[in-house]
Structure 1
Amino acid sequence: MKKREEKNRILILGGSGFIGNGLYKELHSYFDVHCTYCQQHGAFSENQIFHKFCVEEDSMFLLLNEIKPTVIISAINGEFKSQFETHKEIVNYALLNDGCAVLYISSVEVFNGKSSHPSYENDTTFSEKATGKFKISVEKLLLETIPQQTAILRLPIVLGINSPEILHLRQCIRHKAAFEVFPNLVITTTTINKVCQQIHYIINQSLRGIFHLASNDMVHHEDLFREITSKMGDKMPIFKSVFTSNEDKYNAIIPKKNKLPDSHQITVSQVIEECSLNEEIISIK
């Protein structure tokens, strides 16, 4: 029987998204979990623990004071300026509630200006793209204002049997359509199930700091999806190779300083195994 940890009231911002909804499913049996959603959806609007919140329109201050969370997990999307204002309100709430932890879902994008080697937790962030620059700004806000209450959770490409990339791959296989792969791009990866398990552990252990929730090893983007496809069966999509340079480029984050226990780590081969489960198994689950 699952033990419920009532001491933590968790608010997941972006609970209707792929990452946020995975976290809700992982955590709601153990904690008092509340989530936000933006787009109208009957299943969410009728659920009392899902709260309508649109980052461009609504006040985070009012929601925080209504729910009074002890853990805030930010997996929210939306216009960057509005998102940043929302995170400033989160900081103000945390400053007034020093027992409140803030877990920010960041990504490998904070290093996309560095492509000559993989990146570790304490490496200096640098991005040439808008998404990466924005995530760097939120990381900086949290680490400079509430460092003792902050966990930065950087993710690589997150796969799984129901992830957007694997669903797209299955569609391309079914219709013999083109699926883009990048032969010279070296990446790390993980699965939604592993990420949710890791974040559950981080909450239970009250861990703070910067975490790279990625595989311990690397793989070329093309090799990863070719191996997943070959394990799914005999049918193939049309692999469209996209070359962005003549040499290998890295879009990889690796855990080094803040490694979680072995049971909470993952390898590329484990990601491939989980993603290549056949559809009969998926329907049974």
Structure 2
Amino acid sequence: MHNILILGGSGLVGTAIINELNKYDKFQVYSTYFQNPVPLNQDRSFKLNIEDPDNISILLNTLKPHSIVSCLRGDFNKQLILHIKVAEYLMENGGTLYFFSTTNVFDNDLSKTHYEDDLPNSHSDYGQYKIACEKRMTEILHDNVCILRLPQVWGKSSPRMNELLNSLHNNKDIVVYPKLFHNTNTDVMIAKQLCYIINNNLKGIFHLVPEDIINYKDFYYELITGLGFKNAKIKNNFDEEGYFALLSKRNNEFPRQLRFTNKSVINYLIN
């Protein structure tokens, strides 16, 4: 049995990953939560307090995971300390870390889309934290860390979708950026892509993104109209412009059913 520990299993992506991994008999899936146990995995769900540095060490030595997936949120400095402990455990005991990162590692350069081999360049605290994690994890684990950078993540019941629907139902302004290009993914697709990466022992950096980019306003307009709202209050913000977007040189490593477009994200969300 292959033990997999999901750090941050109660979040949107973590929950989808647990649901997907549970389809495989060869995986024993454990997860952590901060406030609410993971419904799909309650008997193998453990409270994790990143304020207590010993908490993660006890958990690792008890569960003895072969693979660890990190979808954690929280204080950046404390997360970094925790991730270093995780990496050192895997270095000493063997295993792979699958670390979810973000488009924000490139948020200081919106002049172009960015690929896996581009040098990260961030001005935000969030982006700089993720860069620091990527660097330290790679220094400790070398080829035994897989970095998975995400675009804007949606789900049918995600906080982002719920916020949009709430604004639409209450006739609130929907702020969009007509000069900005970005791309998207869904919780369900991310989980399927991760399972494929684990099952095929793929390594390195992956941008888990569509095969295209889309104008920010166009994406929201198509999604909103697809949801049946014809008179939404769209408010343009022209302050942000450029390419807050990732593309991938590794899409061809996935089978056809795990390759997609922004339009297919919209179709999934409205159906």
Q: Tell me the TM-score normalized by structure 1.
A: 0.89
User: Is residue 2:239 matched to residue 1:244?
Assistant: yes
Q: Does structure 2 retain, via aligned residues, the 8 Å contact 1:174–1:237?
A: no
Q: Is 1:108 matched with 2:121?
A: no
Moved more, 250-259 or 156-165: 250-259
Gaps of 5+ in 1: 1-5, 278-285
User: In the TM superposition, what is the alpha-carbon distance from 1:148 to its structure 2 partner?
Assistant: 1.6
- 1:42 shift after superposition: 6.3
Q: Does residue 36 of structure 1 match 2:32?
A: yes
Query: Which residue of the partner structure matches residue 254 of structure 1?
Result: 247
Separation in structure 1 between the aligned mates of residue 148 and residue 270 of structure 2, nearest angstrom? 26
**1:239, 1:165 → 2: CA distance?**
16
| Residue 138 of structure 2, aligned match among 136, 143, 154 | 143
Aligned residues: 266
Equivalent residue, structure 2, for 1:190: 185
Residue identity opposite 1:152 in structure 2: I
Write the distance in 2 (CA, Å) between the matches of 1:79 and 1:94.
22
Q: Write out per-residue CA displacement over residues 125-145 of structure 1, whole angstroms, 9 at most, x where no aligned residue.
A: 010000000000000011122
AA partner of residue 233 (structure 1): G
SS of residue in 1 equivalent to 2:202: coil
CA distance in 2, matches of 1:232, 1:162: 14
Q: Secondary structure of 2:42's partner?
A: coil
Q: Separation in 1 of the partners of 2:260 and 2:153?
A: 12
* TM-align CA RMSD: 1.6
Unaligned runs of 5+ in 2: none
Q: 1:93 aligns with which of 80, 83, 89?
A: 89
Distance 2:15 2:175 in 1: 27
Q: 1:265 aligns with which of 256, 259, 264?
A: 259
Question: Within 5 A, what are the aligned runs for 1:179-258?
Answer: 179-245=174-240, 248-257=241-250
Is contact 2:37–2:45 with CA below 8 Å preserved after alignment? no
Deviation at 1:272, TM superposition (A): 1.0
Instruction: Give the letter aligned to residue 219 of structure 1.
Output: I
Contact 1:91–1:142 (8 Å) recurs in 2: yes
Q: 2:173 aligns with which of 166, 172, 178?
A: 178
Q: CA deviation at 1:226?
A: 0.4
Structure-1 separation of matches of 2:232 and 2:90: 48
Shift of 1:21: 1.1
How does the TM-score come out when normalised to structure 2? 0.94
Query: What percentage of residue pairs aligned between the two structures are identical?
Result: 33
CA distance in 1 between partners of 2:13 and 2:211 (Å): 20
- Tell me which amino acid in the other structure corresponds to 1:125: P
3-state DSSP of counterpart to 1:237: coil
CA-to-partner distance for each residue in 1:50-91, whole Å, 9 max, x for gaps?
Answer: 000011225211111111001100000111111011011111
SS for the counterpart of 1:151 is: strand
Paired residues of 1:120 and 1:255 also in contact (CA < 8 A): yes
User: Match for 2:58: what amino acid?
Assistant: L
Amino acid at match of 1:107: T
Q: What CA distance in whole angstroms lies between the structure 1 residues aligned with 2:166 and 2:199?
A: 38
Instruction: Name the SS for the 1:253 alignment partner.
Output: coil
Quote the Cα distance in structure 1 between the aligned partners of 2:42 and 2:92.
29
| 2: CA distance, partners of 1:88 / 1:43 | 25
> Secondary structure of the equivalent of 1:141?
helix
SS at match of 1:47: helix
State the distance in 2 between where 1:253 and 1:170 align. 26
- Cα distance in 2, alignment partners of residues 236 and 208 from structure 1: 46
Aligned to 1:82: 78
